[in-house]
Amino acid sequence: MDQSSLALVAFPDEGTLSRALSRRMDVPSLTARVSRFAGGEWRVQAPPDVPQAVIVLTNIGEDPTALFRVLLLAEALRESGAKQIKLLAPWIAYGRQDRIAEPGESPAGLLVARLLAQTFDRIVTLDAHSDPFKQAFRGKLTSVLPEPKTIPAKDIKIICAPDRGAEGRAGHVARALRLPLAVQDKRREGRFVFSRLRAGSPDVADKRILLIDDIADSGGTLIAAAKELKSAGALSVSAYVTHALDLKKLRNKLQPALLRIDAAFDHARGTINPAVLDQLARTA
């Protein structure tokens, strides 16, 4: 597509990320207008001079306002003449709610996916949580995994998936770095998380291990995984996650269980690894 006919549109509170991405993509960055009517209802307006092709940049966070306002913006853009609207959302919350866990529960992630798929022509995100979540986008989602070369893996001897859900992304990293892959099985008992190395995993004794996962919030899974690996003789355990909801807090909480933890996207500070941001720009 001719870049001169393309623009990036973001909300006022996401200007830093929008400007960084627009420089990488060499396209103009436009700002949507957000206000409220006297009764408190949201009002979202498209920026002036909307081109026919638009990339909406926003994170779909835990607050439902994030989802609602991007749906309003997409409609405003179409009313302003946009013919093709892509969504670039490094984070789409609720992806972990991808199935009914308890009777009467709503699988919120599947609903979010369907709403976005109905609204946008294409959607790009950073490491979507699971296959059921991805499938709910009905073929419109592109999920970008951080390139293995961007992952700190100096002196690492084994890549490890802390649970079954992380096996695919950890295997991707292990193959790219030509390292063995260990897999752990996780179980929960109330507030507690327990891990066990799966039969057939390589011997971790006296090895430096790197855990690979997608989301870290409380850090419970990583702590349980590290304890199991150390009990099996691991020399050290580090972790790399795609999404850290607060990397600074995790680093404090996970000591001394983990030697270190790094993340592609630190949500608390809104910072994305520049190389990963380049990946998103190329994909969008």
DSSP codes joined into one string, 143-187? EEPPPGGGS--TT--EEEESSGGGHHHHHHHHHHHT--EEEEEEE
Task: Match 């293995």 to its residue by tokens.
Answer: 148
Same domain assignment for residues 216 and 104: no
Residue where a domain stops, chosen among 108, 125, 144: 144
Looking up residue 16, the CATH number of its domain turns out to be 3.40.50.2020
- Do residues 228 and 195 lie in contact, with contact meaning Cβ atoms separated by under 8 Å? yes
Domain contains 237 = yes
Same domain assignment for residues 127 and 175: no
Dihedral of CA atoms 184, 190, 244, 163 in degrees, nearest 10, equals: 10
Same domain assignment for residues 139 and 156: no
Least confident of 84-93, 117-126, 184-193: 184-193
* pLDDT tens for each residue of 36-75: 999 999 999 999 999 999 999 999 999 999 999 999 999 9
Residue where a domain stops, chosen among 144, 178, 194: 144
Domain contains 53 = yes
Instruction: List CB contacts of 222: < 8 A, sequence separation 6 or more.
Output: 162, 211, 213, 216, 239, 241, 254, 257, 258, 261
Pull the structure tokens for residue 172. 């991707």
Q: Beta strand 33-36 with 42-45: parallel, antiparallel or unpaired?
A: antiparallel
Same domain assignment for residues 175 and 242: yes
Domain contains 70 = yes
| pLDDT above 80 (res 4) | no
Q: Is 1 exposed, middle or buried, given 0-12, 13-18 or 19+ CB atoms closer than 10 A? A: exposed
Question: Using only C-alpha atoms, what is the Rg of the chain?
Answer: 20
Overall average pLDDT of the 23-45 stretch: 95
Same domain assignment for residues 113 and 14: yes
Domain contains 284 = no
Same domain assignment for residues 41 and 152: no
| pLDDT above 70 (res 245) | yes
Overall average pLDDT of the 16-30 stretch: 92
Same domain assignment for residues 153 and 62: no
Same domain assignment for residues 120 and 12: yes
Local confidence band at 1 (pLDDT 50, 70, 90 cut-offs)? very low
Residues with a known catalytic role: 186
Total of domains in the chain: 2
Pull the structure tokens for residue 118. 């109905």
Same domain assignment for residues 241 and 120: no
Could you give the 3-state DSSP secondary structure of residue 139?
A: coil
Same domain assignment for residues 92 and 171: no
Domain contains 190 = yes
Domain contains 279 = no
- Do residues 226 and 258 lie in contact, with contact meaning Cβ atoms separated by under 8 Å? yes
| Residue-range definition of the domain harbouring residue 100 | 3-144
Residue 245 CA to residue 267 CA, distance in Å, equals 5
pLDDT at 188: 75
Task: Match 């909307």 to its residue by tokens.
Answer: 50
pLDDT at 191: 64
Same domain assignment for residues 166 and 267: yes
The sheet carrying 158-161 orders its strands as: 192-197, 181-189, 158-161, 208-216, 236-244, 261-266, 271-272
- Do residues 121 and 84 lie in contact, with contact meaning Cβ atoms separated by under 8 Å? yes
Residue where a domain stops, chosen among 104, 121, 144: 144
Same domain assignment for residues 88 and 193: no
